[in-house]
Amino acid sequence: MRTSLIALFLFLAFSPQLLFANGKKVKKIVLDAGHGGKDGGARGKISSEKDLTLDVSLLVGKMIKEYMPDVEVIYTRTTDVYPSLVQRHEIANQNGGDLFISIHVNSTAGRTQRIQTGTKLVKKGKKKVRVPVYKTIHHRETSTSGTETYVLGLHRNSQKEGAIGEYSEEITDETGMLNTNDPQTAIIIAQYTQAYLSRSITLGNKIQQQFYSQGRNDLGVKQKGLEVLAGSAMPGVLIEIGFINNPEEEEYLNSAAGQKEVATAIVKGIMAYKAEAEK
Ligand SMILES: [Zn+2]
């Protein structure tokens, strides 16, 4: 008991170096185009989310190869197919990705309004009375605009810890598999998760900054318990690149110039993150 405690303290005392040796290099980036195939995602007037996420992911990948030739790009999909979330995690983890970038398009829930269109006469006992007539209107469109980036919410942490325990090479021993039930290991993994979270926030901020400097509305970096981010053993963000049910933004996201601008913001954000992480 005592020796294991001492070992634990020693380990934690040296853990920054141990944990982050090789940990900060960005050599492999996983690009995840949201939805796909049977899952169209959110729908606008002229397009589906799954097509826009694929277009932008492929463009981001092309630009990464151009501007960061030392970085390998791994896609979770390159065509109109639907990999499950588990399959997306497996692609990311088995390829040993250093960053997980999931691309999505936002949509608001829409608004239902009941308006009076007139009146009518109805029988009430022996009398006829005039009552209002209503009509329900669904407003699908929104004037909300801009981009937001999500990082993993804390309540998903135990799942993230599981993924890190399973795949992270730096903290596995010769047997290749971590015992996540071991309290000592659990503490180390918890530290990892914390580090991944703060790196994810840094990356998110840098990407949002780029969107902002392009004149897009900055909706910020937010935490959410997103399944898609929980299963990958690496820092990750989910970027909502605009609102598909905002007609102006939908048009922008469907244009070649708009897609190029969105991809540029993401790539510049990654480059800024990479430069800082590898300093
Ligand atoms: Zn989506």
Residue with token string 């608004």: 111
pLDDT per residue as tens digits for the range 88-116:
989 999 999 999 999 999 998 877 888 88
Question: Do 206 and 75 belong together in one domain?
Answer: yes
Question: Do 190 and 103 belong together in one domain?
Answer: yes
| Alpha carbon of 73 to ligand 1 centroid (Å) | 21
**DSSP code per residue over 164-196:** HHHH-GGG--TTS---TTSHHHHHHHHHHHHHH
Q: What is the pTM of this model?
A: 0.78
Please give the residue range of the domain that contains residue 72: 29-107+144-152+163-277
Question: Do 228 and 191 belong together in one domain?
Answer: yes
- Is 239 within 8 Å of 101 (Cβ atoms)? yes
pLDDT per residue as tens digits for the range 8-29:
444 444 444 334 434 578 999 9
Question: Do 148 and 137 belong together in one domain?
Answer: no
Question: Do 148 and 129 belong together in one domain?
Answer: no
Question: Do 115 and 206 belong together in one domain?
Answer: no
| Alpha carbon of 241 to ligand 1 centroid (Å) | 10
What is the DSSP-derived secondary structure letter of residue 8?
A: H
Residue with token string 């970027």: 239
Q: Extract the runs of DSSP E, i.e. beta strands, from 50-152.
A: 72-75, 99-106, 111-124, 127-139, 147-152
Of the listed ranges 39-53, 69-83, 90-104, 114-128, the one predicted with least confidence: 114-128
In a domain, residue 2? The reply is: no
CATH of residue 201's domain is 3.40.630.40
Residues around ion ligand 1, judged by CB within 5 A, are 34, 41, 104
What is the pairing mode between strands 111-124 and 147-152? unpaired
Domain count, the chain: 2
pLDDT per residue as tens digits for the range 149-172:
999 876 555 666 666 665 554 444
Residue with token string 């799942």: 159
